[in-house]
């Protein structure tokens, strides 16, 4: 590590002002940033902790929409969203280990947009809206590629709004050491149709599988997507799995998610 200034504002306005200073970096749960600092892959002069902002925490449901504060931990989502959005609560309850779930936040995960993280699939698969201190961004417009989002410099995710679907399920094939998704698929069926979001598989990060969505819109069953597959080109290849292996997993997990949600 190295010397830096640590600031812990108590309001969103204070946090935005602090992030306006030179070389300032927002700190959510720190599950990605702290290891990055230890390896000196990032060296901000000022860390602005968002953990003291009460208005960015909590889970509430109203009018078929689940709203989660950007500073809400995964453990809190798992506990408090279970009654209104079970699929999302189950996803949150299977992120990392207890330490990660109690420190990591939904806003931090979405802002980081790790290509193997679970929350991006939930947000994109649900058709969520990411609320910041400055604007509202549809999930379809938020994710711009691996570790890249539509967030501007100093912009903070203050809340995420999830329309609660009629049925949903998330299936994750875990990398056992990290519990990140080697491939994860979130399927949601609502009044506007079916959304299928895939994480962990593509070099471009989270994406929607539009061919499966079209097939499932008219027949929400595993039979509707038998024989469908995503191309292996563009899939991630590493020591855990080849491009073809990940492409195969996308189909397998999508069918499992549809079966579980039916």
CATH number of the domain to which 39 belongs: 3.30.43.10
For position 39, what pLDDT does the model report? 79
For 159-218, how does the pLDDT look when each residue is reduced to its tens digit (9 = 90+)? 999 999 999 999 999 988 888 999 999 999 998 999 999 999 999 999 999 999 999 999
Please choose, from the candidates 131, 115, 140, 149, the residue with its C-alpha nearest in 3D space to the C-alpha of residue 68: 131
The pLDDT assigned to 35 comes to: 76
Distance CA 2, CA 38 (A): 8
pLDDT band at 1 (very low <50, low <70, confident <90, very high): low
Q: What percentage of the chain exceeds 70 in pLDDT?
A: 99
Of 91 and 42, the structure prediction assigns the larger pLDDT to 91
CATH code, domain with 100: 3.30.465.10
- Euclidean distance between CA atoms 105 and 208, whole angstroms: 23
- 145 and 237 belong to one structural domain: no
Q: Give per-residue pLDDT as tens, 85-124.
A: 999 999 999 999 999 999 999 999 999 999 999 999 999 9
End residue of a domain, out of 111, 131, 163:
163
With cut-offs at 50, 70 and 90, classify the pLDDT of residue 3: confident
User: In the predicted model, what is the mean pLDDT of the chain?
Assistant: 94
What does the pLDDT read at residue 12?
A: 96
- Looking at the fold, whether 30 and 112 belong to one and the same domain comes out as no
Residue 83 has pLDDT above 80, yes or no: yes
Based on the fold, state whether residues 175 and 233 are members of the same structural domain: yes
Where in the sequence is the domain holding 65, given as residue range(s)?
Answer: 54-163
Contacts of 178 (CB under 8 A, 6+ apart): 96
- Co-location of 175 and 246 in the same domain: yes
Q: Tell me the whole-structure pTM to 2 decimals.
A: 0.94
- The answer on 84 and 132 residing in a single domain is yes
- Cα(89)–Cα(78) distance, integer angstroms: 4
The count of structural domains within the chain is: 3
177 and 157 in a common domain: no
């Amino acid at each position: 590590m190295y010397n830096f200034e640590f600031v812990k504002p108590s309001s969103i306005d204070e946090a935005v002002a602090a992030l306006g200073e030179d070389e300032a970096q927002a700190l959510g749960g720190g599950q990605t940033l702290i290891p990055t600092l230890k390896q000196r892959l990032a060296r901000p002069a000022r860390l602005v902790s968002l953990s003291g902002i009460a208005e960015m925490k909590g889970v509430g449901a109203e009018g078929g929409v689940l709203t989660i504060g950007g500073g809400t931990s995964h453990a809190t989502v798992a506990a408090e969203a279970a009654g209104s959005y079970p699929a999302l609560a189950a996803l949150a309850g299977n992120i990392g280990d207890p330490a990660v779930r109690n420190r990591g936040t939904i806003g931090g995960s979405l802002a980081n947009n790790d290509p193997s993280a679970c929350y991006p699939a939930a947000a994109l698969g649900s058709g969520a809206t990411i609320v910041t201190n400055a604007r509202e961004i549809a999930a379809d417009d938020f994710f711009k590629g691996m570790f890249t989002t539509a967030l501007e410099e100093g912009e903070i995710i203050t809340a995420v709004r999830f329309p609660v679907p009629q049925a949903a399920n998330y299936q994750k094939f875990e990398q056992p050491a990290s519990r990140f998704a080697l491939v994860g698929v979130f399927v949601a069926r609502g009044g506007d149709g079916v959304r299928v979001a895939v994480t962990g598989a593509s070099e471009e990060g989270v994406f929607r599988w539009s061919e499966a969505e079209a097939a499932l819109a008219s027949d929400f069953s595993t039979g509707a997507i038998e024989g469908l597959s995503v191309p292996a080109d563009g899939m991630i290849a590493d020591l855990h799995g080849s491009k073809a292996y990940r492409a195969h997993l996308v189909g397998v997990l999508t069918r499992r998610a549809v079966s579980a949600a039916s």
